[in-house]
Chains A and B, each alone.
Chain A
Amino acid sequence: DAGVIQSPRHEVTEMGQEVTLRCKPISGHDYLFWYRQTMMRGLELLIYFNNNVPIDDSGMPEDRFSAKMPNASFSTLKIQPSEPRDSAVYFCASSFSGVETQYFGPGTRLLVL
């Protein structure tokens, strides 16, 4: 298996623009997690899905952030409009039946100017 795939790997955008991050989980995994990593706040769980359904989005910072999982093999995290404080590395992870082992993607490094 290719592991968790994220795209793009790097994104540079200007404040106010829409940003869409993409994730393909490992085939057969039924949980998908979105994390954000910054120097100031470390690793934060933003949202997670089970069988394509959002279960807990309490970590989503504000209404500018939204996440979808239209099918078992694809998820998006969208920021609209983006702000400089959104600059971070965003990780997607997937697991089979929950927390036992989460497999992380390589991350998307986002810079908002």
Chain B
Amino acid sequence: AQSVTQLDSHVSVSEGTPVLLRCNYSSSYSPSLFWYVQHPNKGLQLLLKYTSAATLVKGINGFEAEFKKSETSFHLTKPSAHMSDAAEYFCSIEGDSSYKLIFGSGTRLLVRP
């Protein structure tokens, strides 16, 4: 069965420093992978997705993620954090049944001034 593990429940960075949010997955095949962001009291917004094309995926707001099959990882990065990046981030994987998404437990990103 597919599963997603987000390794950090909270990450705190200073504004202007790099961001790394870690995600590992388990799947019996090469799945589609996604990162979503949720700002307070808002719905989830798609940041980026990997669907078996280029392993380095660029998303919105300067975020990118690299798919590493050997490590079963899909970590999210951004070179320089902005205050507006403070939110909760969810990694998700295409489920074993078509059209279902399985979400990780989320990582809350705090950006310090």
Contacts and interface: CB of A to CB of B under 8 A. Distances in A.
A48 interface: yes
Contacts of B103: 42-43
Interface residues of A, number: 23
Interface in B76-100: 90, 94, 97-100
Interface in B91-113: 94, 97-106
Interface of A: 4, 31, 33, 42-43, 45, 48, 50, 55-56, 91, 93, 95, 98-107
A85 B110 CA distance: 29
Interface residues of B, number: 22
A4 B44 CA distance: 11
B69 interface: no
Nearest to B43: A104
B105 A42 contact: yes
Contacts of A42: 103-106
A99 B46 contact: no
Interface of B: 32, 36, 41-46, 49, 51, 90, 94, 97-106
B75 to A, nearest CB: 19
Contacts of A43: 90, 103, 106
Nearest to A56: B97
A47 to B, nearest CB: 11
Given A42-B106, A99-B32, A105 B43 contact: yes
B40 to A, nearest CB: 11
Nearest to B104: A42
Contacts of A93: 43-44
Given A42-B106, A48-B99, A102 B43 contact: no
